[in-house]
Every structure is written in C-alpha cells, then in structure tokens.
Amino acid sequence: MQQDGPREGAAQHRRGALHEPAEVDARLSRAVKRAAGRTEFLRVRLSRDARGLVADPLDNQASGAVTSFAWADAVARVPAEVAQLDAGVTVACTLLSEV
C-alpha cells in the first residue's frame, strides 16, 4: 500500500481549496471599441445606480498597466468575435476580490 507523500498531500489540499470566483452582471458606463480576434478582459470599477450595477472601464487597458489593475474591482470578459460594446450593454464581471 502506497501512502501519499507530503507533496501530494499539499497538492490535494490546494485543489480542495479552489473555488469559482464570483461573477456579477453590470451595465457598461460607456462604449468600448477594440480589435476583434482574441478574448480580452476589461478592467472595470463597479458602482451602483438606481438601475443596478455599473461597470466603468478604466482608461488604460494596456497589458503592462499594473496601476489600472490595482484600481479595478472586476474584469469584464469580451469574447474574441466582439469588436465593440455599446454603452448600457450588460457584461459579466468577475470580481477581483474573489480571485
């Protein structure tokens, strides 16, 4: 009979601790244009108005923009085939506090 070594036990513990991050639906505060062809994740700040949650895309979406990532509450997934999202469209946002 083979026993799990310390490394295997730690890996099982980590696997058991994984969970799906929370997602919320929010309306975009402004239109977003981008080049289609690959999935992107917009960094957004979330707020609430009388109609529900609002996702406000941060200005600097460059891959090296660490500051905008620090300011973001969530990321909104934009499918590869989408080149433009209009203001008011609902997007699924993954809360960064849950990641």
- Please give the domain boundaries of the chain with CATH numbers for all domains: 21-98 (2.40.340.10)
pTM for the model stands at 0.72
Give the pair of three-digit tokens for residue 29: 């505060």
End-to-end CA distance of the chain: 38
Can you point out the beta strands (E) in the chain? 23-28, 32-33, 40-49, 52-57, 74-78, 84-85, 90-95
CB contact at 8 A, 29 and 46: no
């009388």: which residue's tokens? Answer: 50
pLDDT at 99: 66
pLDDT at 66: 74
Q: Which regions of the chain are under pLDDT 70? A: 1-19, 98-99
pLDDT at 16: 53
pLDDT at 13: 45
